[in-house]
Amino acid sequence: MSSGQSSAPALAPVHGENEQPQVTYTEFHPRWYRPQISTYWWLGKWPYVKFILRELTSVAVAWTVAVMLMQIFALTHSGAFYDGFEALMALPVMILVNVIAFAFLVFHSVTWFNLAPKAMAVRVGGKRVHGILISGPQYLAWIAVSAIVLFILATRT
Amino acid sequence: MSIPKTITLEVSRYSPERDPQPYFQSYEVPVKKEWVILDALNYIKDQIDGTLTFRWSCRMGICGSCGYTINNEPKLGCATFLTQYGRGPIRIEPLRNFPVVRDLVVEIGEFLEKLKKVKPWLIHEDGNGTGEYLQTPSQLEEFRQHSMCINCLLCYSACPISGLDPIFVGPAALALAHRYNKDSRDQGADERMAILSHPEGIWGCTFVGECTRVCPKHVDPAGAIQQYKIAGAIDGLKQFLMPWGQKGKQPKREAQKS
């Protein structure tokens, strides 16, 4: 059985057996090693990547709000404004950006609904209500509102 | 799948007097079906290399001493079987987000200071809860889950915010504060809120959720902090709507002294 084999991958080289260690003492406690956190720490694990993507959804939310404000501005002004807005939104790059923004918004909504049962500890008869009974109605309401919007869009065009 | 006769453990070594930074040292240890990581570390300590330093005590998931980073995941050494890792190798490092004292031992003094700050004890107007108080099973259920914390610090190791923002109070301490707030015998919620309702307290948590996933006692610190945030938001709203204040006039909830 081998013992004490040094592999030292990506870290400091192992000390040789005959090497005399350089002993330096501090006054009150030994020298602690404080690992540095890489800028790319979040790439190491999928839950961390998911967390960063969730934080980035705020950009998509801000973008969607800006587009909606632009649309309202165009609607309240002359037809030329709205034609210009429609032409802008029909550009392939804008369609691509909006599809990405939509995907981020769906992700944002799902994480929000999944958070609700964590934040709301509802108890009935002394027992905590299962999470699905808190997030479920929110999902149902979301689907219902989306269906109504889709229905209006389908019947008006 | 058959169990291998031996497995390689790559253990992080660091001697403060000698090493500028940690390095890995490999040890080959026998594999037994019932052996956990802690058994393997004790085998190394007893049979191969007596200089290896690590914390452990109860061997049964109660003391919270043997938290290590095992193959990039914070886990308890006494609750992680060697057979989970097939033919290995298994890489064992100290818990993340703490200074390393030696080998697998981390410095937890900063955590203990944070823990003290959240006042994790019963606060009561007559004698700080030293009397005997009646409590129903449903009142106990309100906080029982959050009282299971063994201070193993796996949650701090998994929480990126604890690493990026060292003054963030952190998951275990906040969950314990919430545990006492939910205790029917306690009247210290307002005191704790004054301490924790700031960016390094409850509002520092960005709900990564990893603390809850790695918790070996299912304390759910992430859930506790989100519930604490709701209480904080309600408290802030009350102060805005009623600036003349309700604080100090009555206990938060009635505790029945026997």
Domain-located, residue B179: yes
Which residues of A are less than 8 Å from B100 in CB distance? 32-35
Q: Does A51 sit within 8 Å of B23, measured CB to CB?
A: no
Residues on chain B touching A55 (C-beta within 8 angstroms): 206
Mutate to test the interface with A, among B12, B18, B47, B95 (most CBs of A within 10 A): B18
Q: Are residues B19 and B141 in the same domain?
A: no
Residue B222 above 60 pLDDT?
yes
Instruction: Say whether both B64 and B77 belong to one domain.
Output: yes
- CATH number of the CATH domain containing A91: 1.20.1300.10
A17: nearest Cα among B24, B47, B18:
B18
Residue B29 inside a domain? The answer is yes
Q: What is the pLDDT of residue A12?
A: 41
Decide if A119 and B223 are in contact by the 8 Å CB cutoff.
yes
Asked if residue A31 belongs to a domain, the reply is no
- Examine residue A157 and state whether it is found in any structural domain, yes or no: yes
B234 and B140 in a common domain:
yes
Distance to chain A for B91, nearest Cα, Å? 11
Residue B176, domain CATH: 1.10.1060.10
Q: Do A8 and B163 touch (CB under 8 A)?
A: no
Residue A114 lies in a domain: no
A133 and A89 assigned to the same domain: no
For residue B88, the domain's CATH number is: 3.10.20.30
The pTM score is 0.84
At A20 the pLDDT is: 55
Residue A62 lies in a domain: yes
Query: Is there a single domain that holds both residue B132 and residue B180?
Result: yes
Residue A85, domain member (yes or no): yes
Q: Out of B65-69, B104-108, B236-240, pick the least confident.
A: B236-240
Across the interface, do B18 and A1 touch by the CB < 8 Å criterion? no
Distance CA A12, CA B190 (A): 49
- Judge: B107–A47 Cβ closer than 8 Å, yes or no: no
If asked whether residues A98 and A124 sit together in one domain, one would say no
In a domain, B126, yes or no: yes
Residues B27 and B75 in one domain: yes
pLDDT, mean of residues B121-139: 80
Domain housing A74? 41-104
A11/B23 CB distance under 8 A: yes
A51 and A97 inside one domain: yes
Q: Is residue A18 part of a domain?
A: no
* B84 within domain boundaries: yes
Q: What's the complex ipTM?
A: 0.83
Same domain, A45 and A99: yes
CB of A67 closer than 8 Å to CB of A73 = no
The answer on B93 and B194 residing in a single domain is no
Based on the fold, state whether residues B124 and B32 are members of the same structural domain.
no
Q: Which residue segment(s) compose the domain that B132 sits in?
A: 109-257
Whether A8 is in a domain gets the answer: no
Task: Collect all residues of chain A within an 8 Å Cβ-Cβ radius of residue B223.
Answer: 118-119, 121
B2 touches chain A (CB under 8 A): no
B106, B127, B146 - which closes a domain: B106
- Residues B65, B172, single domain; the answer is no
- Shared-domain flag, residues B117 and B228: yes
In a domain, B94, yes or no: yes
Residue of chain B nearest A19, judged by CA positions: B18
Closest Cβ–Cβ partner in A4, A8, A45 for B23: A8
Same domain, B162 and B230: yes
Q: Tally A–B CB contacts below 8 A.
A: 121
List, for residues B160-219, the tens digit of each pLDDT value: 999 999 999 999 999 999 999 999 989 999 999 988 888 899 999 999 999 999 999 999
Most B CBs within 10 A among A24, A33, A50, A118, hence the mutation to make, goes to A33
- Closest chain A residue to B93 measured between Cα atoms? A35
B17 in contact with A at a CB cutoff of 8 Å? yes
Q: Kindly give the confidence (pLDDT) of every residue in chain A, 157 residues in length, as a single tens digit, with 9 standing for 90 and above.
A: 333 344 333 344 444 445 555 655 555 666 889 998 999 999 989 999 999 999 999 999 999 999 999 999 998 987 888 899 999 999 999 999 999 999 999 999 999 999 898 888 888 877 888 989 999 999 999 999 999 999 998 998 6
Q: How far is A142 from B73, CA to CA, in rounded Å? A: 36
Q: Report yes or no on B73 lying in a domain.
A: yes
Say whether B16 and A8 touch across the interface (CB within 8 A). Answer: no
The answer as to whether A145 is a domain residue is: yes
Number of domains into which chain A is organized: 2
A53 and A100 share one domain: yes
Q: Is A118 on the interface with B (CB under 8 A)?
A: yes
- CA of A148 vs chain B CAs: smallest distance (Å): 31
**If contacts are CB pairs under 8 Å, which of residues 56-115 in chain B contact chain A?**
72, 96, 99-102, 107
Considering B80, B106, B132, which residue would you say is the last residue of a domain?
B106
A100 with A62, same domain: the answer is: yes
- Any idea which of A76-80, A147-151, B26-30, B97-101 has the lowest mean pLDDT? A76-80
**B84 shares its domain with B118:** no
Instruction: Identify whether residues B100 and B120 lie together within a single domain.
Output: no
Which tens digits make up the pLDDT trace of A13-48? Answer: 444 445 555 655 555 666 889 998 999 999 989 999
Residue B177 lies inside a defined structural domain of this protein: yes
- Structural domains counted in chain B: 2
Which of A22, A118, A126 is the closest to B138 by Cβ?
A: A126
